[in-house]
Amino acid sequence: MPAESLEVRNLRTGYGPTVVIEDISFSVPAGARLSILGRNGMGKTTLLSSIMGLTKRYGGEILLGGKDVTGLRSCDRALGGLGLVPQTRDIFRSLTVEENLIAGLKDRPRSALEEAYAMFPRLRERRRNLGWQLSGGEQQMLSTARTILGRPSVLLLDEPLEGLAPVICDELMVAFSRLASGGEMTILLVEQRIESALDFADTVMILERGRIVWQGPSEALRNDQDLVEQFIGVGSLH
């Protein structure tokens, strides 16, 4: 399916009795890219999980392509076009690479696996290896490719570069940029590597204690070291 817009209205979510996301509203046009920044523990992962329907909602709405998906279960949101690549990767460690990819096909033919192998040739080389036999970078590639094979219209990426070698990070970011530039997906990227996040998206949003404290063009943030140090940390941007 083609890229769709995402709109979040006055969203309040959390876990159990704890509210983490406080009255957040923002929109991302179809085919656009948004990077979400902030210190650890400020609600970035919770925001993506909430969009996917994996947290407790206290209020607000989520619209995908103008359609209200707030009341849908996470599995139905996935079928409707949302795709999440979690920070935890969540591959099936006892299945082969190819079996993991087949699980992401939904109703698509097995021939579509070639899309994953074209994006990450390393997965083709390791297609008969079990999940637990892969390196961290290969697991991230597998988690990403499995989600993308389902052709989500909105892709949520939760710190996909964490703990990976620079060469693997570059390979992943090239793949993400290719998807976005082709207009196939609207992409929200949560990332601690601020330079990569700013290079990837034209628009950036900063979270602080579950609220949006700044939103604007990437270049504006790149040129404001004081703002970066205030909300993200000293030395974050070089």
Phi, psi of 107 (to 5 degrees): -100, 10
Q: Is residue 211 part of a domain?
A: yes
Q: Is residue 39 part of a domain?
A: yes
> What is the number of structural domains in the chain?
1
Q: Is the full-model pTM beyond 0.75? A: yes
Q: Is residue 45 part of a domain?
A: yes
Sheet of strand 56-64: strand arrangement: 18-28, 6-15, 56-64, 67-68
Alpha carbon distance 96, 91 (integer Å) = 10
pLDDT in single tens digits along all 238 residues of the chain: 788 999 999 999 999 999 999 999 999 999 999 999 999 999 999 999 999 999 999 999 999 999 999 999 999 999 999 999 988 878 999 999 999 999 999 889 999 999 999 988 999 999 999 999 999 889 988 998 999 899 999 999 999 888 778 888 888 888 888 888 877 899 999 998 899 999 999 999 999 999 999 999 999 999 998 988 988 875 556 5
Q: Is residue 220 part of a domain?
A: yes
Q: Which domain holds residue 16?
A: 6-91+153-166+177-231
Contact of 37 with 219, CB cutoff 8 Å: no
Q: Is residue 142 part of a domain?
A: no
Q: Is residue 223 part of a domain?
A: yes
Contact of 172 with 136, CB cutoff 8 Å: no
Report the CATH number at residue 79: 3.40.50.300
